[in-house]
Amino acid sequence: MAARGHEESCVRRLTAVLVHDVRLPALVYEVDLDRLRPGSLIVDVSCDEAGAIETSRPTTVADPIYVRRGIVHYAVDHTPSLYHRTASEAISGVVARFVSDLAEGRPNPVLEKATIIREGRILDERIARFQKRT
């Protein structure tokens, strides 16, 4: 991804951001669209409205794109599920590396960092606050 302020040189932009509590600053604001080349394409497969890309709004496979300020947006939520086999193989390849540690209860720093619920308690206070469980 191009550094903020260098969007005009960007041919491709990839965002992979999970916003699970309060809205964080966007990665791409509406005013940033003016820096992109007309006809540029933004693909947002997690398309949370007012999320990482301020101008994203969920669309459907039947009507997948819209144009905002001359920039084409593709925002079909859960696009990877359209390619379920490929997505499953890729995810399984990564998850398989952790199955033995998980099944045998061995410590693993990656699994520890990824744990958000333990013994019924939400560990991440931002998630607990968002779900009004604090």
Distances (CA, A) of 25 to 19, 67, 91, 114, 126: 10, 22, 28, 23, 16
Q: CB–CB of 17/48 below 8 Å?
A: no
* pLDDT for 102: 87
pLDDT exceeds 50 at position 2: no
The H or E element containing residue 117 is: strand 117-118
Q: Report all structural domains of the chain as residue ranges with CATH numbers, in order of start.
A: 1-77 (3.40.50.720), 81-130 (no CATH)
pLDDT at 5: 54
Widest CA span in the chain: 54
17 versus 1: the higher-pLDDT residue is: 17
Quick: pLDDT tens for 70-127.
Answer: 999 998 888 878 888 888 888 888 889 999 998 998 999 998 888 888 888 888 887 7
pLDDT tens digit string along 12-69? Answer: 544 455 555 555 567 888 999 999 989 999 888 777 666 788 898 888 889 999 999 9
